[in-house]
Structure 1
């Protein structure tokens, strides 16, 4: 008897169980943005009042799109290009290109995300002797990053290059080890250490002089801010970027789950764990900023550098230099930043590695090695030189605010309205999960999310075209900003046209499942 494609295909990797999947998904969601973005965004958009649009955004967009990713990955059993091609078959196999669009986004983000982790790793070492001295801003720009003018420099910075290489080696090793022995094991080690270290940091921050003033600055509600549409857009933006949704990560992760695996309940756990960590980060960051303001004799509102690179690598080192036991505090902060970044990084690169492995028929170690070497080379070329900081900032703006948002809008519209697969995906979620989703889920994914995210996308494009970005030259934004989007689109088109080494119908989708409460409960414990 002739063997079918499915019997010829090697068995698909799987998580060892539900706990391993949940921990790994939380590790992906909890990243740099939780620590250095959420506190500042909340403070600038209504303080305590911001929690209302934040929770609304979580319920109406974050969790529904997370469920959509889970349903696609689990139902069609593949990385983003494979799963989306199968979803569109037989008449819309072109949907594979959207999957490669998502893979290209993850690839680009991984290039510069690694650089930030390398900075955090360096500053972990610098914390032992407070090497940044009395001028953390000057140390970062002039001595550590050796910042140059906009352009593409080939002058490499050894202080960045060495830790960057170390991060890439660790990433390749984890990916080559596989889903269970590599990605899951790394998260099972790193995530508990991250939470313990960060909790110790927060508790210590709460006992600093001025901590109460910092918390008051963060949580005092400005109810008038709720009438500002930009505050609501900021809430949707924060939820959207922090959950690792709509660019292939959760599709890929869900594809490694067993057939009868609870999807929606773990999704709720992941979503609320991510938001809880953001709230914890807000408490720790603003308690520390309150201390800094107290030391300076100013109000928290007068401080600068409350988000992003400025917060992490300028403001926090300045705080560490002034506080009792600052070296230990610095080690905890930058160690937490490194671990949070690394668990997110391996999820980004797993998206790329899995897609390449399935398309070109490579072994798992072979795909990890190829993806790792190419990514590391480009990462070193663009982000370990004297112009690395500028390139990183611009590429990040375009990849996140245009690339990811466009991916989400396209996925929601195409799947719900063009292909009309919403009922099938909802049925799959309900067949395997203990927490059933109603028809409102289709409405949220098909209408609310694309309308809000579409507005975000259009307004951001208009702003970048009209106002530019950070007073940088137009040619620079064209090359590193819009050029990033052009690269992502072209990469998606080109790779889609390449021939599959093996039929993408291998690892065929699970057949439709009927609602089975007992099986669902069994899946909840698997």
Structure 2
């Protein structure tokens, strides 16, 4: 078989040109960081750390990062980089019977995309609300009342124009980015957005540190409670945070790694992405708790009285801080602007998993696949989440897809690759060809034993809590329809899609030509043609 000057087979070069590629390792790293750094880094990590031992939480967090997060990240990289395909195609090339795992991941990403866009739309609107503090003296009443118009817990078709318009804008932006392709769309967006995000959030942190009471907030976050290290739930929280924040286990990093040149150092890239993500989480913790310290002092209460996470932190607590703080409008624009940027870079990575799978399976062009995925996703997103019941549906879907979608498929895929296919040695050898530091038996032990054990513990605590009491006391019908049924449907649909035939000429059952670690290949010059 003929080879190009770079050492890749003609077939491999044509495949890479058809699918697209990142132009350099730097672009890939920024895109991977953009996927990993999302809303959860800003509004989830600080509170999780605060609730689970404060400064002492650093110990289980680092243990989870080093023993489970980065090893699993490298597993995703190895699968995508060696097998050069979307999640379904890469699993099919591992072993044809495992293709359904990839489609299960695709389904999860599609669901995440349709509700994640809604939160970005809220943040976009609040960026402008910050300029005149539109929420007035009651941020909570404004958010749930005037803005979302949330009423009784029931599914309605009553559209909220204030959500519909920014949500439509978000989807139009995503459509444009995805239509431009891997490098000109995702890569270029990451090259611009990630530096802007770091600068904007650093400016927010610096401003927050000079607020009165900031020191009390940081004391509350970092004062260690060493007794917490004896609690299994604290260790489960650390492993859960790592899995949720690194974008591992549900197809994103497999897909992104398939767009990287053959000769790139994927091990070093994984270390950079993993530690960059954790560094941003630490930065977020400092900024958020400095601001919460100010809020506590202004209200004459303890930090524990104002600390919260998730939607409550972003759209209730922070508006209250903005209203009281000097230069509050600046803080608001920086905070909500950061949410928008972090959200967009994560959303494009999620939707790319679906687009890549459709392109590989059906052999469609980039624009056709983008329209075929983004338009239905946008329609569902607008129908479900621009209504007065959108907040309730979003909360339930997010909880169940994260707890029993991402974590379950991650656990099963890891066990299948390690113990059924016994593919870890070959995947590790692939990474070692150009990767440094080299990985070996230690990585295989962490990936096949420690990381699955960590995931299993997280799942145990999540399932225990949901069986003890209904999530957020929502009615049973809401939890059943938008929670448990979705969880069951995802793998069923995934393995049904796996039965559809692949496009003619698709190489299955093994790595594509040129993937032997003894004869590594790389993409054509520039990463794409």
TM-score between the two structures when normalised by the length of structure 2: 0.94
Structure 1: stretches of 5+ with no match in the other structure? none
Q: Which residue of 2 aligns with 1:319?
A: 321
Which of the numbers 168, 173, 182 marks the counterpart of 1:170? Answer: 173
CA distance in 2 between partners of 1:75 and 1:29 (Å): 21
Q: CA deviation at 1:361?
A: 1.3
- 2:35 paired with 1:28: yes
Once residues 509 and 94 of structure 1 are traced to their aligned partners in structure 2, the CA distance between those partners, rounded to angstroms, is 20
Distance 1:109 1:260, change over 3 A: same
CA offset digits 1:145-190 (Å, max 9, x no partner): 0102223211111111100010001101111101100000011111
Contact 2:197 2:341 (8 Å CA) reproduced:
yes
| Structure 1: distance between partners of 2:506 and 2:100 | 14
Q: Distance in 2 between matches of 1:475 and 1:12?
A: 42
Q: Kindly state the Cα deviation for residue 474 of structure 1 after the two structures are TM-superposed.
A: 1.0
The match for 1:409 is 411
After TM superposition, give the deviation of residue 381 of structure 1 in Å: 1.3
Are positions 1:487 and 2:489 aligned together? yes
Gaps of 5+ in 2: 2-8
1:455 Cα offset (Å): 2.3
Could you say what secondary structure the match of 1:497 adopts? coil
Map 1:424-439 to 2 at 5 A: 424-439=426-441
Partner of 1:333: 335
Q: 1:286 to 1:509 in 2, by over 3 A?
A: farther
Equivalence for 1:52: 59
Give yes or no for the alignment of 1:422 onto 2:424: yes
Q: d(CA) in 2 for partners of 1:361 and 1:262?
A: 29
RMSD: 2.1
Aligned to 1:140: 143
What is the distance in 1 between the residues matched to 2:134 and 2:188?
33
Q: Is the 8 A contact 1:72 1:251 kept in 2?
A: yes
CA distance in 2, matches of 1:7, 1:138: 57
Give the conservation status (yes or no) of the 8 Å contact 2:54–2:220.
Answer: yes
In the TM superposition, what is the alpha-carbon distance from 1:11 to its structure 2 partner? 4.0
User: In 1, are the aligned partners of 2:12 and 2:514 still within 8 Å (CA)?
Assistant: no
Cα–Cα, structure 1 residues 509 and 251, in superposed 2: closer, same or farther, change >3 Å?
farther
Q: Does the aligned pair in 2 maintain the 1:194–1:340 contact within 8 Å?
A: yes
Match for residue 251 of structure 2 among 227, 248, 251? 248
Q: Is the 8 A contact 1:5 1:503 kept in 2?
A: no
Contact 2:83 2:515 in 1 (8 A): no
Equivalence for 2:475: 473
Alignment coverage as a number of residue pairs? 516
Indicate yes or no: 2:159 matched with 1:156. Answer: yes
Asked if residue 18 in structure 1 is aligned to residue 25 in structure 2, the reply is: yes
Q: 1:372 aligns with which of 351, 369, 374?
A: 374
Deviation of the 1:515 alpha carbon: 9.3
What residue in structure 1 maps to residue 6 of structure 2?
Answer: none
Tell me the secondary structure at the aligned position of residue 151 of structure 1. Answer: coil
1:225-374 matched pairs, under 5 angstroms: 225-304=228-307, 306-374=308-376
Please point out which of 441, 444, 448 is paired with 2:443: 441
Q: Which moved more, 1:476-485 or 1:271-280?
A: 476-485
Per-residue Cα deviation, 1:358-403 (whole angstroms, up to 9, x for no partner): 1111101111111000100111111111111111111011101111
User: In 2, Cα distance between the equivalents of 1:287 and 1:6?
Assistant: 51
